[in-house]
């Protein structure tokens, strides 16, 4: 159908009006027209686009909800990592952060007195990345692990506060690429309404606004997200092409000018004076806000200074999150249960009357060990003060002693294991009480859970509940039994049951597709490298890094099993404690039998000549290690480099290929930048050396 000129112009005018009113409503909170008038304009444009489909564009206001439900979210790599922030929980820690960055600036020849700072609220929502290409929203993703997130473009398009196109001045050219970072949240009033509606409909309510926002964005059907009044505060410009900015403050102004929603209460300070007071002011005003915040963020304003300060691990040195004091509540400690870990450790778990702490309903808390319980004088039956440590992990601060009635009971760790009945022991010098029985059902189940976990064998489809059920039914009693599972024994297997509205029991069974995926993943796991299998065995104290170090020295498991404790301890980064655990593991006939069965199943228990060459990915490369790494010792890092064929030197020079940067690196980091050498974080270094 031909498109009359006046129709095209009317559609363009309607789009411009709707975009203008969206901006006034969502970004400035200054609507000029009624909802009814907005709906009239919207419906007129929608009718024109239906009559003339060639008018319809991806950034039209009518296309915010246009995608079909997805089967799953695809993963996307962020153009620049979305780093986490280090925390400061009081004035002293905030000042310590400031002193460290001043020292680094001085070492770089920059006067710290010239540094300016920006303060802004730390929104308790879902971090997202928005990529605009030539001015149009091309992709939106969750933060994920900071490197890779999930593509949730269709859901983010439903949020009215996110412009589908950047606002441009007449004649202004949009940058080819600009990445905008922000925090999606659900306003508190909207959260209350949503929970009331869900309760009325018989649906489960959300624990807090953050969960509601995250759950909305991760809906596979965009129509669900569209029904929830989500909003966003944009706080950073990330990766760009064709856009030059020199400071964080100028980036925030650029975002504002181009239609992005920036919190109106962000402030810039020409010096550090006043920054702490502003953080405290945010803490005091948090109850007045219509959105949740869990802290204030402080950033060095200058991009040049940010580059000089760099990154420590996964935390930028130029920014810090001033975390507010965690919320606390009082509830009753009903009992202390014991869970048994894979190494036999008995872990006390507090069972409490449910209480909402910081917006989350809490009924369990960690109690660490018996000594800690006695030190705090926590007794069963006490009223206790509960807090969410770091606003995440529930913990008991202590009892409300003045409320005691005399009926409270002092806790003692059991003399026998609650899982198998064996007499418990407390090794000399340890605070942990253990079950010494290697055949303890709880230890076996936990060891199998560890074996299938993502960092070990990464067996998709075999979760913790399924492991427990397979063990309960006698289908597995050892990690090696996983590889003997038969399809005919799994399809239709009852996992759990529920009662429907008629009071009838409804079983939930394992479906054919799930079984096929699980068996396929088990088969794929046979290709995992030797060091991953070594870690998956669950040898006490042998983490993923230590497993790599051991595999580099002992090229097959037979060599490791035959090695003396002294020989194992000679491996750099291992030491006598881990060596003792290794010897104890291989001294157990049951463990040797497990290794034998895994070998028969086809798992990699040695490094082949081809793998040795493939793993020597750093042949001839020279490394310099500087600063304290988050998890690796200097000797461990050296061992990994040399095992992969690389060499370590003490100074940065022309022949240096990589500089591995830790905390407080000193002058070597600056020298590396001057010479244009590749600088690696610990995570990047481990990815380089692992060679999976």
Q: Which residues are annotated as catalytic?
A: 122
Instruction: Give the closest residue to 331 by CA, choosing from 263, 268, 403, 426.
Output: 403
The structure tokens listed for 136 are: 């149009």
The structure tokens listed for 363 are: 């009924």
Helix axes 5-22, 35-51, angle to 10 degrees: 140
Q: What's the full length of the chain, in residues? A: 692
Q: How far apart are CA 545 and CA 565, in angstroms?
A: 19
Contact 636, 545 (CB under 8 A): yes
Burial letters 61-100, b for 16+ CB under 10 A, else e = bbebeeeeeeeebeebebeebbbbbbbbeeeeebeebbeb
Q: How far apart are CA 692 and CA 687, in angstroms?
A: 8
Q: How far apart are CA 19 and CA 63, in angstroms?
A: 12
Contact 647, 621 (CB under 8 A): yes
Q: How far apart are CA 241 and CA 177, in angstroms?
A: 5
Looking at the chain, the number of H-run helices and the number of E-run strands are: 25, 26
CA 466, 471, 472, 474 dihedral sign is: positive
Q: Cα torsion at 495, 500, 505, 511 (round to 10°)?
A: -30
Q: How far apart are CA 309 and CA 315, in angstroms?
A: 11
Q: How far apart are CA 452 and CA 565, in angstroms?
A: 28
Phi, psi at 261, each rounded to 5°: -90, 110
Number of Cα atoms under 13 Å in the Cβ half of residue 207: 13
Q: How far apart are CA 550 and CA 571, in angstroms?
A: 7
DSSP state string for 451-501: HHSTTTT--TT--HHHHHHHHHTTS-SSGGGGGG--HHHHTT-EEEEEE-T
The structure tokens listed for 629 are: 């790494």
Q: How far apart are CA 476 and CA 556, in angstroms?
A: 26
Q: How far apart are CA 502 and CA 496, in angstroms?
A: 18
E strands along 260-305, which residues?
267-269, 293-300
Query: Burial, 576: exposed, middle or buried (Cβ in 10 Å; 0-12, 13-18, 19+)?
Result: exposed
Q: How far apart are CA 386 and CA 332, in angstroms?
A: 10
The structure tokens listed for 324 are: 């507010």
Query: Burial, 501: exposed, middle or buried (Cβ in 10 Å; 0-12, 13-18, 19+)?
Result: exposed
Chain centre distance of CA 28: 32
Q: How far apart are CA 371 and CA 375, in angstroms?
A: 6
Q: How far is CA 21 from CA 15, 30, 42, 61, 161, in A?
A: 10, 9, 11, 11, 11
Contact 324, 90 (CB under 8 A): no
Q: How far apart are CA 354 and CA 360, in angstroms?
A: 10
């Amino acid at each position: 159908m031909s498109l009359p000129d006046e129709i095209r112009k009317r559609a363009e005018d309607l789009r411009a009006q709707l975009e203008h009113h969206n901006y006034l409503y969502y970004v400035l909170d200054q609507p000029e027209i009624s909802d009814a008038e907005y709906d009239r304009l919207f419906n007129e444009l929608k009718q024109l686009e239906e009559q003339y489909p060639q008018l319809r564009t991806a950034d039209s206001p009518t296309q915010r909800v246009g995608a079909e439900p997805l089967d799953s979210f695809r993963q996307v790599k962020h153009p620049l990592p979305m780093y986490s922030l280090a925390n400061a929980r009081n004035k002293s820690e905030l000042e310590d952060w400031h002193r460290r960055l001043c020292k680094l600036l001085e070492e770089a020849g920059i006067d710290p007195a010239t540094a300016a700072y920006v303060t802004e609220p730390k929104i308790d929502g879902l971090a997202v990345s928005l990529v605009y290409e030539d001015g149009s929203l091309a992709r939106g993703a969750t933060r994920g692990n900071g490197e890779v997130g999930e593509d949730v473009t269709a859901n983010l398009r439903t949020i009215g506060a996110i412009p589908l196109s950047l606002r441009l001045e007449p004649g202004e050219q949009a940058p080819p690429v600009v990445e905008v970072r922000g925090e999606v949240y659900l306003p508190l009033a909207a959260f209350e309404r949503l929970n009331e509606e869900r309760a009325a409909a018989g649906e489960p309510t959300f624990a807090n606004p953050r969960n509601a926002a995250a759950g909305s964005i991760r809906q596979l059907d965009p129509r669900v997200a569209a029904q929830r009044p989500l909003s966003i505060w944009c706080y950073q410009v990330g990766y760009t092409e064709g856009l030059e900015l020199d400071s964080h403050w100028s980036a925030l102004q650029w975002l504002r000018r181009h239609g992005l929603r920036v919190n109106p209460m962000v402030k810039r300070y020409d010096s550090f004076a006043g920054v702490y007071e502003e953080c405290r002011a945010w803490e005091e005003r948090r109850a007045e806000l219509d959105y949740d915040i869990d802290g204030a963020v402080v950033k060095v304003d200058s991009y040049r200074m940010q580059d000089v300060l760099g990154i420590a691990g996964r935390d930028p040195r130029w920014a810090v999150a001033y975390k507010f004091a965690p919320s606390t509540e009082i509830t009753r400690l009903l009992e202390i249960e014991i869970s048994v870990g894979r190494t036999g450790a008995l872990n006390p778990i507090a069972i409490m009357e449910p209480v909402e702490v910081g917006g989350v309903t809490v009924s369990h808390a960690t109690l660490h060990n018996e000594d800690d319980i006695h030190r705090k004088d926590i007794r069963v039956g006490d009223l206790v003060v509960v807090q969410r440590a770091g606003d995440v992990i529930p913990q008991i601060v202590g009892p409300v002693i003045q409320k005691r009635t005399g009926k409270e009971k002092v806790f003692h760790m059991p003399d026998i294991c609650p899982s198998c009945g064996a007499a418990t022991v407390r090794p000399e010098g340890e605070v942990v009480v253990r079950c010494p029985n290697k055949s303890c059902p709880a230890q076996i189940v936990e060891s199998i859970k560890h074996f299938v976990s993502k960092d070990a064998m990464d067996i998709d489809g075999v979760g913790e509940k399924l492991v427990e059920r397979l063990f309960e039914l006698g289908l597995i009693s050892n990690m090696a039994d996983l590889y003997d599972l038969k399809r005919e024994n799994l399809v239709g297997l009852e996992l759990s049951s529920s009662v429907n509205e008629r009071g009838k029991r409804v079983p939930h069974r394992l479906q054919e597709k799930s079984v096929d995926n699980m068996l396929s993943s088990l088969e794929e796991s046979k290709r995992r490298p030797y060091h991953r299998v070594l870690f998956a065995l669950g040898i006490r104290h042998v983490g993923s890094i230590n497993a790599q170090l051991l595999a580099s020295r002992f090229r097959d498991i037979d060599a490791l099993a035959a090695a003396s404790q002294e020989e194992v301890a000679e491996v750099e980064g291992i030491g006598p404690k881990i060596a003792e655990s290794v010897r104890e593991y291989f001294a157990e006939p049951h463990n040797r039998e497990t290794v034998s069965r895994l070998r028969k199943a086809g798992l990699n228990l040695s490094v082949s000549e081809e793998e040795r060459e493939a793993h020597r990915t750093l042949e001839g490369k020279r490394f310099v290690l500087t600063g304290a790494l988050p998890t690796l010792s200097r000797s461990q890092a050296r061992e990994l480099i040399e095992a992969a064929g690389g060499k370590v030197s003490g100074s940065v020079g022309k022949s240096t290929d990589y500089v591995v940067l830790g905390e407080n690196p000193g002058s070597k980091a600056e020298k590396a930048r001057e010479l244009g050498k590749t600088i690696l974080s610990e995570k990047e270094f481990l990815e380089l050396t692992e060679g999976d």
